[in-house]
């Protein structure tokens, strides 16, 4: 599967559901999705490595939060993108210092995404996966993640809606994933990260 890049990483699978897309899996709460992504970064950045696949609506969110925090986000956020979407990369993709672009299979988006996801998940050691909003790709990434890291924690944030809510029902997630809106407290508790844990390294 490739050389391991990071240990004890957290995998982020997130997206804002688009009702016009063929892989739509249900309405998402865009405000809750943005809040959950921001909370995850606030809790983890400078403490745990975040690995994720770029999404046109999520990449600007991640960049906005990462840029506002006083840590070297390039050391802590690893962004995977498939070359098949190269013409559609959000402009914020260029700002990240740790981007891995995986090969395209012609113009076949499904096959190209499969390659990206297998590398993204297979090249890292994960303690947990967080699923926020999203569409059908959430299920594909969950399937691959469980195959690669069967003992890692699965955290579908059901209150964000979309595929994450359906995934939570499928895996019988704890009720707090459905009802909890204090995402900072949720991630501190579920990821076992002490609020007083220092962030390192700081920007110098």
pLDDT in tens, 34-86: 999 999 999 999 999 999 988 878 888 888 888 888 777 778 889 898 888 77
- Checking if the pLDDT of 172 tops 80, the result is no
Identify the pLDDT of residue 181.
Answer: 74
Q: Is the pTM of this model over 0.85?
A: yes
For residue 6, pLDDT beyond 70? no
The residue ranges of DSSP E strands in the chain, in sequence order, are 9-15, 50-53, 77-82, 99-102, 126-133, 153-157
Note the pLDDT of residue 14: 94
Closest C-alpha to 62, from 104, 33, 22, 29: 33
Chain position carrying tokens 């709460």:
29
Tell me the pLDDT band of 2, cut-offs 50, 70 and 90: very low
Looking up tokens 């982020």 gives 12
pLDDT of residue 4: 40
The CATH number of the domain covering residues in 9-191: 3.40.50.450
Q: Average pLDDT over the chain, rounded to whole?
A: 86
**What ranges do the domains of the chain cover?**
9-191
| Average pLDDT, integer, range 186-193 | 94
Q: What is the pLDDT of residue 194?
A: 96
Mean pLDDT of 172-198: 84
Sign, Cα dihedral of 146, 149, 153, 155: negative
Q: Closest by alpha carbon to 41, among 81, 73, 7?
A: 73
Instruction: Tell me: pLDDT of 19 over 50.
Output: yes
């Amino acid at each position: 599967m490739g050389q391991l890049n990071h240990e004890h990483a957290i995998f982020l699978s997130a997206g804002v559901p688009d009702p016009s897309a063929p892989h739509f899996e249900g309405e998402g709460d865009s405000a809750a999705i943005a809040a959950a992504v921001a909370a995850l970064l606030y809790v983890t950045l400078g403490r745990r490595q975040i690995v994720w696949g770029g999404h046109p609506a999520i990449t600007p969110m991640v960049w906005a939060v990462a840029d506002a925090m006083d840590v070297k986000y390039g050391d802590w956020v690893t962004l995977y993108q498939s070359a098949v979407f190269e013409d559609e990369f959000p402009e914020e993709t260029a700002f990240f210092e740790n981007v891995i672009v995986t090969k395209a299979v012609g113009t076949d988006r499904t096959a190209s995404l499969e390659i990206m996801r297998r590398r993204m998940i297979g090249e890292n050691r994960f303690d947990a996966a967080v699923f926020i909003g999203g569409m059908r790709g959430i299920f594909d990434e969950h399937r691959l993640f469980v195959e690669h890291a069967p003992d890692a924690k699965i955290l579908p944030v059901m209150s964000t809606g979309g595929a994450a809510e359906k995934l939570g029902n499928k895996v019988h997630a704890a009720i707090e994933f459905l009802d909890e809106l204090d995402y900072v407290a949720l991630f501190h508790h579920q990821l076992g990260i002490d609020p007083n844990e220092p962030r390192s390294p700081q920007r110098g």
